[in-house]
């Protein structure tokens, strides 16, 4: 039987339960929120209530996708896991460089030092307070996966260094690599880069393809190689309707890719109901989107796969 790493330790994979693979539950104030005020989610009591609504609706697990040194709140996440009994999975890795200050260590660390940082976070413990100083102090909570970001600028030297570190850490720890895919980037070039350097496609989760990729054939090519496609433009009506989201999911199902679909909300402050009264809330998938999928004819087994089996396949170690 396989195990899953959570912030509270390893659990047998059957205990993962209903899982949303890309959320944001806590982000402290800093450069991310200077860039976008919706990226400040720093009230632990509100985040706890949000999580309790999710658990009450049938949720069990989620990934917090904020990486090290980028205003991740590792202690708060540990407290939330302990107080609610939710399975929280944390991220090491890197985000778009746009989200870091000019003099941040992410710009100067060597590939090796970055890889060692990521491996330490997964195997030993996550660094604390590392947005303002180099990673040094750490806690006993561990990261589960390696978040990365493909920016519009593509695989320039500065991004190759970051991706190479993520690759080394993934191969060493067997942790999956999650990729933020930016609109106007080329995910196929990245996929080729990663697999050429020895990462198996099954260890990759490509996020936001449903809003970053206008061409469904590119998404099909990516999943055709074995990558997990994470659809997280659910309840994000400035991009497209939920009906459109379901059409995309059905296109992949029709081609037999039902075992590679993950669904999540990629929440920000503006989509958490305890922060914004009219927001959709972390329980939106359970309460609204799953009933919509059912009504559209997507079968119960398929829906179950998106939130249970596929998550285990993507995250098991
Ligand atoms: Zn995100």
- pLDDT, tens only, 242-290: 999 999 999 999 999 999 999 999 999 999 999 999 999 999 999 999 9
Rounded distance from Cα 39 to ligand 1 centre (Å): 9
Burial class (CB in 10 A: 0-12, 13-18, 19+), 17: middle
pLDDT of 1 over the 80 cut: no
Q: What angle do CA 11, 12, 17 make, to 5 degrees?
A: 85
pTM: predicted TM-score of the whole model, two decimal places: 0.97
Separation of alpha carbons 71 and 57, rounded Å: 28
Residue 229: what pLDDT?
97
146-205 pLDDT, tens digit each: 999 999 999 999 999 999 999 999 999 999 999 999 999 999 999 999 999 999 999 999
pLDDT of 236 over the 80 cut: yes
Rounded distance from Cα 233 to ligand 1 centre (Å): 11
Residue 201: what pLDDT?
97
pLDDT of 317 over the 90 cut: no
Residue 7: what pLDDT?
96
Residue 9 token pair: 């330790």
Q: What's CA 110's distance to the chain center, in Å?
A: 24
Could you tell me the CA-to-CA distances from 158 to 153, 161, 186, 192, 281 in Å, in that order? 10, 5, 16, 18, 36
33-62 pLDDT, tens digit each: 999 999 999 999 999 999 999 999 999 999
Rounded distance from Cα 179 to ligand 1 centre (Å): 10
Rounded distance from Cα 24 to ligand 1 centre (Å): 6
What is the average per-residue pLDDT within 66-93?
A: 98
Rounded distance from Cα 211 to ligand 1 centre (Å): 13
Mean pLDDT estimate for the chain? 97
Residue 16: what pLDDT?
97
User: Pick from 302, 191, 187: which is nearest to 250 by CA?
Assistant: 302
Partners of 83 in beta bridges: none
CATH number at residue 210: 3.20.20.140
User: Pick from 91, 41, 82, 81: which is nearest to 61 by CA?
Assistant: 81
Rounded distance from Cα 157 to ligand 1 centre (Å): 23
Residue 19: what pLDDT?
98
Rounded distance from Cα 108 to ligand 1 centre (Å): 24
Rounded distance from Cα 66 to ligand 1 centre (Å): 7
Note down the domain range covering 185: 3-315
Q: For residue 107, name the pLDDT band (cuts at 50, 70, 90).
A: very high
Separation of alpha carbons 99 and 70, rounded Å: 7
317/4: higher pLDDT? 4
Residue 243: what pLDDT?
97
User: Pick from 208, 290, 265: which is nearest to 50 by CA?
Assistant: 265
Overall number of domains in the chain: 1
Separation of alpha carbons 257 and 234, rounded Å: 19
Q: Is the separation of the CB atoms in 247 and 293 below 8 Å?
A: no
What is the average per-residue pLDDT within 108-134?
A: 97
Percentage of residues of the chain with pLDDT beyond 70: 100
Residue 42: what pLDDT?
97
């Amino acid at each position: 039987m396989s195990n899953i790493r959570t912030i509270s330790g390893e659990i047998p994979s059957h205990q993962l339960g209903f899982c949303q693979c890309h959320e944001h539950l806590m982000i402290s104030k800093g450069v991310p929120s200077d860039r976008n005020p919706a990226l400040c989610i720093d009230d632990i009591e509100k985040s706890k209530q949000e999580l309790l609504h999710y658990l009450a609706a049938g949720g069990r697990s989620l990934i917090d996708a904020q990486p090290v040194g980028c205003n991740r709140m590792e202690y708060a996440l540990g407290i939330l896991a302990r107080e609610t009994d939710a399975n929280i999975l944390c991220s090491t890795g890197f985000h778009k460089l746009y989200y870091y200050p000019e003099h941040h260590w992410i710009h100067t660390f060597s590939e090796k030092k970055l890889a060692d940082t990521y491996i330490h976070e997964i195997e030993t413990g996550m660094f604390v307070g590392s947005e303002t100083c180099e990673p040094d102090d750490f806690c006993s909570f561990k990261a589960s996966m390696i978040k990365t970001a493909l920016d519009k600028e593509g695989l320039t030297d500065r991004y190759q260094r970051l991706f190479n570190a993520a690759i080394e850490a993934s191969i060493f720890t067997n942790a999956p690599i999650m990729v933020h895919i930016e609109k106007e980037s080329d995910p196929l070039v990245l996929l080729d880069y990663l697999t050429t350097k020895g990462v198996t496609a099954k260890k990759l989760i490509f996020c936001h393809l449903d809003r970053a990729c206008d061409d469904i054939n590119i998404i099909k090519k990516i999943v055709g190689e074995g990558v997990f496609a994470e659809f997280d433009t659910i309840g994000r009506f400035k991009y497209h309707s939920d009906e459109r989201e379901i059409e995309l999911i059905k296109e992949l199902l029709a081609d037999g890719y039902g075992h590679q679909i993950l669904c999540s909300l990629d929440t920000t402050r503006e989509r958490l109901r305890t922060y914004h009264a009219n927001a959709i809330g972390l329980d939106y998938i359970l309460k609204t989107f799953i009933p919509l999928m059912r009504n559209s004819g997507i079968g119960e087994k398929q829906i179950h796969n998106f939130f249970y089996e596929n998550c285990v396949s993507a995250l098991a170690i």
